[in-house]
Amino acid sequence: MSTWNMESAIVPVTGAASGIGLAVCERLRATGATPLLLDWDEQKLHVATKQVYKDSDESSRFCYLVDVRDSRAVDECFVSIARTHGPATHAVAAAGIVQPADILSLTDESWQQVIDVNLNGAMYFCRAAARHMAEAKRGSIVNIASIGGLSARESRVSYVASKAAMINMTRAMAIDLGGFGVRVNAVAPGVIDTPIQNRNRGTFQNITERVALKRIGTPNEVANVTLFLLSELASYVTGSTIVVDGGMTASYR
């Protein structure tokens, strides 16, 4: 099998109904893999699955309605995936939310919601995937983190905390799973043109001035790096975080 040929890959992807998660699924599908779309928005999930599997009359076989905050539901989802498609060989944790608030206005509820999705949900998903992969003695997991996990900005206390934890969790999982032949890496996107970013577009009017490439990134550009980490091209890469931000964090301004 060539390094880019992923025809035998079974790849669950969370947050797959839109944005980076959807782009990852489309990119995987183009390489011959079987991306499985996981999300908690049923309507968007079915639309996205039909978009990825345009040539299939049974697109519903490739999507799973699941709330990553529910560890039991995540575990059951992987059992269902194994029953229908075979055990997962790769996995991408792309689900994430943002609830802007500074430390003075941050509520317990808002903090918990972000941590539950961005960190706990990612852990539940990765743990379930890792158990299948460790048994098979192979696999690759990619967590979609953020440059917010490497630095901070105003009114993002919960978000940057969750993404920083995700990056270090990625390192720890890579150490735990390396002996099983399972790789774990992260991608840290900068400002990417996604539905979440669109809701906050007014706060990013001058963002391109801070980016070396003078433009906002696209979900496909993040998906390309994710595919690299999933593939055998990255066979000796684990515990790493690749920044995809157009050079935004290269400057100390």
Q: What is the pLDDT of residues 110-155, one digit of tens each?
A: 999 999 999 999 999 999 999 999 999 999 999 999 999 999 999 9
3-state SS class at 69: coil
Q: Which residues pair with 185 in a beta bridge?
A: 142
Which residues, other chains included, contact 217 with Cβ-Cβ below 8 Å and sequence gap of 6+? 189, 190, 191, 192, 193, 244, 245, 246
Q: Identify the active-site residue in 53, 64, 159, 236.
A: 159
pLDDT for the residue 200 = 53
Q: What is the pLDDT of residues 88-100, one digit of tens each?
A: 999 999 999 999 9
Q: How many domains does the chain have?
A: 1
Q: What percent of the chain has pLDDT over 90?
A: 87
Any domain includes 5: no
- Count the neighbouring beta carbons within 10 Å of the beta carbon of residue 32: 13
Structural domain of 242: 10-246
Dihedral over Cα of 92, 144, 112, 177: its sign: positive
State how far the Cα of 118 lies from the Cα of 129, in Å rounded to an integer.
16
- In this structure, of 39-53, 58-72, 187-201, 230-244, the range with the lowest mean pLDDT score is 187-201
Any domain includes 209: yes
Any domain includes 129: yes
pLDDT for the residue 55 = 85
Any domain includes 2: no
Q: Using pLDDT thresholds of 50, 70 and 90, give the confidence band for residue 218.
A: very high
Give the total residue count for the chain. Answer: 253
Any domain includes 132: yes
Q: What is the CATH number of the domain that holds 181?
A: 3.40.50.720
**Whole-number mean pLDDT of the chain?**
94
Any domain includes 251: no
State how far the Cα of 132 lies from the Cα of 9, in Å rounded to an integer.
13
Any domain includes 3: no
- pLDDT average, residue stretch 13-36: 97
Question: Tokens 């905390």 identify what position?
Answer: 161
pLDDT over 50 at 229, yes or no: yes
- pLDDT average, residue stretch 213-223: 96
Strands in 86-244 per DSSP E: 90-93, 139-144, 182-189, 241-244
Element (H, E) at 38: strand 34-39
Any domain includes 152: yes
Q: What is the pLDDT of residues 152-209, one digit of tens each?
A: 999 999 999 999 999 999 999 999 999 999 999 999 999 999 876 655 555 556 788 8
Specify whether 252 is catalytic.
no
